[in-house]
Amino acid sequence: MKAQSIRRTFVTDFDGTLTRQDFYNLFLEQLYPADAPDQWAAFCAGKITHFECLRNIYAHVPVGEEGLERFLEQIELPPNFPTLLASLHTVGWEVVIASAGSRWYIERLLARERVSLPVHTNHGRIVDGRLVMELPTDSPFVHPHAGIDKAAVVRHYLDRGHEVAFAGDGITDIPPALLVPPHRRFATGYLAARLTERGERFSRFEDWSEIVTELLK
């Protein structure tokens, strides 16, 4: 079987996977008041969805558009990101982003690198200085829990006969990771811990560029 005859799609999470820093974690650490409601606890208790948790946190603080732009400066894509994408392209891998975060910052960070990729994520806009996340009701992958159903994104490409790789680090990455074969499953952080507990095989990574090295083999 010639690998090149099969279309290849690498679905990657964004925060904490493609970027080392997680927009959500940094926002909590640096911008969200310590005495504000504990939205993550409410999510863990099943009182609100993952989407509502992030939406409530971001909308709580009127950081302002300029403040958010400055905040974004500390989040970095992998060094030489456009070159990494070009190398993946030479062996047939197309990169697709699936994120429970927001297009507001993902598109800005990609534009900084002059990169354009398919991005499946929640909408976001600034209203009265606050980042307001909105469900992507125009997406075929919309789901009330996290906004985007990442497993549905992976399934979309599998159903079309693509070879699919997936990389992630968080709680919403467990279902999509389990859909791809172990040698195409890349995990770090929380996702790696949960997969280990379940006895599921995967490749562990610290930096997204390590996945590129694997996919180029």
> Which residue ranges make up the site for Mg ion (CB under 5 A)?
13, 15-16, 169-170
| Residue 164 main-chain phi, psi, to 5 deg | -125, 130
- Per the listing, tokens 């999470």 go with 13
Nearer residue to Mg ion within complex by CB, 87 or 200: 200
CB 112 within 8 A of CB 184: no
Q: How far apart are CA 136 and CA 215, in angstroms?
A: 30
Which DSSP symbol is given to 32? S
Provide, rounded to whole angstroms, the least separation between the CB of residue 216 and Mg ion: 23
Nearer residue to Mg ion within complex by CB, 52 or 169: 169
Q: Which two structure tokens, joined as six digits, stand for 172?
A: 């919403």
Provide, rounded to whole angstroms, the least separation between the CB of residue 84 and Mg ion: 18
Provide, rounded to whole angstroms, the least separation between the CB of residue 169 and Mg ion: 4
Nearer residue to Mg ion within complex by CB, 13 or 52: 13
**At what angle are helices 65-72 and 23-30 packed, to 10 degrees?**
120
Provide, rounded to whole angstroms, the least separation between the CB of residue 192 and Mg ion: 12
Nearer residue to Mg ion within complex by CB, 170 or 176: 170
